[in-house]
Structure 1
Amino acid sequence: MATDDLLTTPIFARHEALGARIVPFAGYALPVQYPDGILAEHRHTRQAASLFDVSHMGQATLAGPDHETTARALEACVPADILGLAPGRQRYTQLLNEQGGIIDDLMVSRSADPSSEGRLYLVVNAARKEVDFRHLALNLPAAVRLVPHPGRALLALQGPLAVEVIARFAPALREQPFMGLASARIGDIEVSATRSGYTGEDGFELSVVADRAAALWDLLLNEPEVKPAGLGARDSLRLEAGLCLYGHDINEETSPVEAGLAWSIQKRRREEGGFPGHRRILSELQNGTLRKRVGILPQGRTPAREGTAIHDSKGELVGEVTSGGFGPTVNGPIAMGYVVSDCARVGTPLGLDVRGKTIAGTVVPLPFVAHSYRR
């Protein structure tokens, strides 16, 4: 594939050498799969450990004079309790517009290093990073500045054996809690490690300076449990885990409540408000929403893809699929979508319009595959 008009990550040459199929994604040339195929990569992640190059994601730091100033500056843009974020911890949240719609979802971390007091580390979606950074820069007070990190790469080691692999190099990371942040050395390479990911499995995301990223990739991929995985497996894994993909399951019209993300709005923010769209969101928390994101299990073997119309038992249009495909672990088609709240109860029968035919489906709990995070 021609990549002249696309950006590449510091690992790009490694992907080519491994025989990856390269596709355009968010302005980057990225591997969608390697020769073993998406199904094998998905299953290997569930059984052992896979290494993903996610260096296309946006990384940045918010820097202010102290934690309270920086946290309150970010809280003016997101609904999470950032002030209460403890040192060495990470939190999931969303950038919101004034209508309570989601500009992007992101991860926010606070270092335990006293020298980093007043700094928050952000990871945002690749397709939205320019929008996010512009939005933040326009809404931050003078005392807090946004510092993007285009010179850093990001690798994700995911799967039940990821901790065994990482502990060979950095034994202290074995005891790192889920959503914890720590500095570590992998070989002679300095990394910032969070115990998190986008697969539903235990694992680590490793931020590293770009010129050491390929060396880190080689070091981890040399371990017997580890194989490379691409965008295809990353998508099927996150779908089974019931995780939202920006631009599909969430967008600038979607509120965190109707998206099933109310758990990410902590008690203090619910009581105090003060974030964009708080009137809508607090009302939805109290009174419910007109529609809800649900898991859907189609009958048979035919997947219901994004855009599939959803009908109730009477044939009335009640929603639309936002993510759908084959779940290798489930061994069948799975989907997520929005339906009117009256049809969101688990067990509700639905009709899915797939290529001119109606396929029966049922509302089921999310996730489709239980999360295996370290608790």
Structure 2
Amino acid sequence: MAELLTTPLHALHIEMGAKMVPFAGYDMPVQYALGVRKEHLHCREHAGLFDVSHMGQVRLEGKDAANALEALVPVDVIDLPAGKQRYGVFTNAQGGILDDLMIANLGDHLFLVVNAACKAQDIQHLRDNLKGDVTVEVLDDRALLALQGPKAAQVLATFNPKVNDMVFMDIQPVEINGIYCVVSRSGYTGEDGFEISVPAEHAESLAKALLANDDVEWIGLGARDSLRLECGLCLYGHDLDTTTTPIEASLIWAISKVRRAEGERAGGFPGEAKILEQIASKAVSRKRIGLLGQSKAPVREGSKLFDANDNEIGIVTSGTFGPTKGMPVAMAYVSPEFTAVGTEVFAEVRGKKLPMTVEKMPFVPQRYYRG
């Protein structure tokens, strides 16, 4: 087995008693002494600190950077205002999703954050396919922290009050604890919060400074998964993959209107024929939905779904017990006729068929700060 990579905060996780597990080629904390459920609830009620330094951070520079990137994603990159970021997906020639990512305009360059498991292939994809005057710089010398929860802004503002002026999806350079950081008001929990790109050599001192606040606790991968699932956020490699289009994944909102309307910038991205046809026809063979369990037993990824007549109709792609919701939550792909809210389906768990109900996502209200 290849030796696991570590983040700049690895020693601190060990010191804090984290349970470490392999994740996307890294040795990562899955939980701390609080345990997954209490970490989850702490983030919903106070503020949680996440080490997401395994993610890829990439800088694109050059006069053609926006045009070149727009040719690889169904997203409006050219008109993305400075100081703003946008969710996007890399698509393949069949319309499938190669990865999802965040795209930010920092004025003199574009800043991307890509998933850890896809990092190497995404960087190669950029280097192979970006055309014109554009350079790709991988920011291996930076860590990434996420501070999430209703107290996140209050905590971060003690270091620099200017973060209070930021709204959801804003991004800008901010000095935090005397350190030059790039801070976005965004995250992966459904809560208000921030993602902080920090030089690797200062990551530990910044983490300790944040943790000195009584409202802040370390949160591991276990609670990160249950938090994002309760808020209806996809995990690449589970709810999204190369065989799934953005339309099948219920991500039509992530395809900018200027890229799907008639006009000079419509299309022009890999897989446009399939994706634009699915938008126009509203016809797909399967669709991502949310499910709530009617019993206490969690329904895990890979569980098959059946209708009342025992016909197989789909599969669960993410599932756990939602500590805030107080019941099992799941995402699944099903045939289109079973997507209506309130539809009852049955998940096969250890030979039993457990009833679940199609529910609108997010299961727990998202609380992004929009001003």
Q: 1:195 aligns with which of 185, 189, 195?
A: 185
1:169 alignment partner AA:
F
Distance 2:328 2:359 in 1: 13
User: Which stretch shows the higher mean deviation, 345-354 or 154-163?
Assistant: 345-354
Distance 1:247 1:165 in 2: 33
Q: What is the CA deviation profile of residues 196-248 of structure 1, one whole-angstrom value per residue up to 9, with x for unaligned ones? A: 00000000000011001111101111111111111001000000011000000
Distance 2:329 2:166 in 1: 32
Distance 1:183 1:24 in 2: 32
Matched residue, 2:18: 20
Asked whether the 8 Å contact 2:68–2:132 carries over to 1, the reply is no
1:44 maps to 2:39: no
Report deviation, 1:4: 8.4
SS at the partner of 1:204?
A: strand
Q: 1:350 aligns with which of 330, 345, 350?
A: 345
Matched residue, 1:29: 27
SS at the partner of 2:104?
A: strand
Report deviation, 1:360: 0.8
Matched residue, 2:290: 295
1:4–1:81 Cα change, 3 Å: closer
Matched residue, 1:279: 273
1:20 alignment partner AA:
A
Q: What is the CA deviation profile of residues 137-160 of structure 1, one whole-angstrom value per residue up to 9, with x for unaligned ones? A: 110114112111111100000000
Q: Sequence identity of aligned pairs in percent?
A: 50
Distance 1:266 1:279 in 2: 16
1:211 maps to 2:201: yes
Q: What pairs up with 1:1-375 in 2 under 5 angstroms? A: 5-65=3-63, 69-112=64-107, 116=108, 119-271=109-261, 272-288=266-282, 289-375=284-370
SS at the partner of 2:244?
A: coil
Distance 1:8 1:346 in 2: 43
2:142 alignment partner AA:
R
The list of structure 1 runs, each at least 4 consecutive aligned residues, that deviate by more than 3 angstroms after superposition, is: none
Instruction: Give TM-score, length-normalised by structure 1.
Output: 0.96
Instruction: Give TM-score, length-normalised by structure 2.
Output: 0.97
Report deviation, 1:313: 2.0
Distance 2:177 2:127 in 1: 36
1:275 alignment partner AA:
F
Question: Which segments of 5 or more consecutive residues in structure 1 lack a partner in the other structure?
Answer: none
Asked whether the 8 Å contact 2:66–2:77 carries over to 1, the reply is yes
Q: What is the CA deviation profile of residues 311-334 of structure 1, one whole-angstrom value per residue up to 9, with x for unaligned ones? A: 112211110000001000011111
SS at the partner of 2:368?
A: coil
SS at the partner of 1:192?
A: strand
1:218 alignment partner AA:
K
Distance 1:78 1:309 in 2: 32
Report deviation, 1:182: 1.1
Distance 1:231 1:320 in 2: 23
1:259 alignment partner AA:
A
SS at the partner of 2:99?
A: strand
Question: Which segments of 5 or more consecutive residues in structure 2 lack a partner in the other structure?
Answer: none
Distance 2:77 2:131 in 1: 16
Q: What is the CA deviation profile of residues 159-215 of structure 1, one whole-angstrom value per residue up to 9, with x for unaligned ones? A: 000000011111111010100001111111111000000000000000011001111
